[in-house]
Structure 1
Amino acid sequence: MKLFFISDIHGSLYFLEKALEAYKKEKADHLIILGDALYHGPRNPLPKDYKPKEVASLLNAYKEKIIAVRGNCDGEVDQMMLDYPMMGDYSIILYNNRKLFLTHGHIFNKEHLPNLCENDVLIHGHTHIPVAQKLDTIYLLNPGSITLPKGNNPNSYGILEDDLFEIKDLERKIIKSIKL
């Protein structure tokens, strides 16, 4: 199973289209959205091609393939626009005898870890900075942001396949990777 991770779309139709092109080229089985899909948020600038209604419509076309969690910029009004559930603060996927704890990162993160077992994985967005590291007995992953990257990082997404997590820029160049 191949999983495709994006976070922090923030209503940018331009960058969502770029990410979905990569999703198709990667031939991933599922699209995992780690929050902040439609709204740019009061602390962020308006992103390129800011069109939340069109972003919602485009994401709805993939509703059968999407697993999503709520970000700090997501609200009930966003859920009204989307045809897949996205209001949970976290979701859990069982993957190759380990738990993947999916969340946005504003509640659960490196400083406030959920209950995880050895070799489980915390995957979140929110910081807009790509991370692929082992933290004590668990893995901490962040695909970065497809729309508003920080720290001089490129717009990026994550891929998990065969216990290898890769963070790639929108041209599919590997930025970081880690074997789980």
Structure 2
Amino acid sequence: MHKLLEVYHSSKASKLILLGDLLYHGPRNDLPNEYNPKETSRLQNSLKESLICVKGNCEAEVDQMVLEFPVLADSAIMYLEQLGGRMIYLHHGHKPLPPLSSGTVVVSGHTHIPVAEEKDGLVFINPGSVAIPKGGYPASYCILEDRTFTILDFSGKVIMSLTI
């Protein structure tokens, strides 16, 4: 989380979007040795005014008791002028998608594997994972700048990008 906050502050991004599983990542995943949910919640709370979050499959009501921003919504919707007013549908990715209009940008996490692709009239973005990357990918995050989604590792190397 510390590395993500460094990137967030240095990028001067207006919002930080968290796509679920904020404090716990489920019994199937080994947690990193340095993992500290109390410190993670403190760091997340320090950014509460800048966060947009959705519920992951490992969020629980007890998590909401220590977090000072809402984390129990299954999805969120944004419309961004920089993308021509397109709908951005944010969700964790463990539940089926609702009906969405062509051109919608679907942003999810769940698989922990980076994705930036257009398919069946939709744009799919998955930033990968900051804490528990999978599929042989490094820890990663995504930045939207102008009309380009860029997924990067923490050394600044571009993993993939998509301009829409």
Tell me which interval the TM-score lies in, with the shorter structure as reference length. over 0.9
User: Are 2:92 and 1:104 equivalent residues in the alignment?
Assistant: yes
User: Displacement, 1:132?
Assistant: 0.1
Aligned residues with identical type, % of pairs: 50
> Of the two structures, which has the highest relative contact order with CA contacts closer than 8 Å and spacing of 6 or more?
1
**What residue number does 1:116 align with?**
100
1:54-133 to structure 2, matched below 5 A, reads: 54-96=39-81, 97-107=85-95, 112-133=96-117
- The normalised TM-score by structure 2 is 0.95
Q: Residue type of the partner of 1:115? A: P
Gaps of 5+ in 1: 1-15
Gaps of 5+ in 2: none
User: Equivalent residue of 1:64, what SS?
Assistant: helix
Q: Which amino acid aligns with 1:58?
A: L
Q: CA deviation at 1:114?
A: 2.3
- Separation of aligned partners in 2, 1:23 and 1:154: 18
Cα shift at 1:40: 3.0
1:158 to 142, 149, 164: 142
Q: Which amino acid aligns with 2:151?
A: I
Distance in 2 (alpha carbons) for counterparts of 1:82 and 1:113? 27
- For 1:88 and 1:26, locate their aligned partners in 2 and report how far apart those are by CA, in whole Å: 27
Give the partner amino acid of 2:89: F
Q: Match for 2:16 among 7, 13, 31? A: 31
Q: TM-score, normalised by structure 1?
A: 0.87
RMSD, matched Cα? 0.9
Are the aligned partners of 2:107 and 2:125 in contact in 1 as well (CA < 8 Å)?
yes
SS, match of residue 48 in structure 2:
coil
Answer yes or no: is 1:169 the counterpart of 2:157: no
Q: Structure 1 residue 163: deviation in Å?
A: 1.4
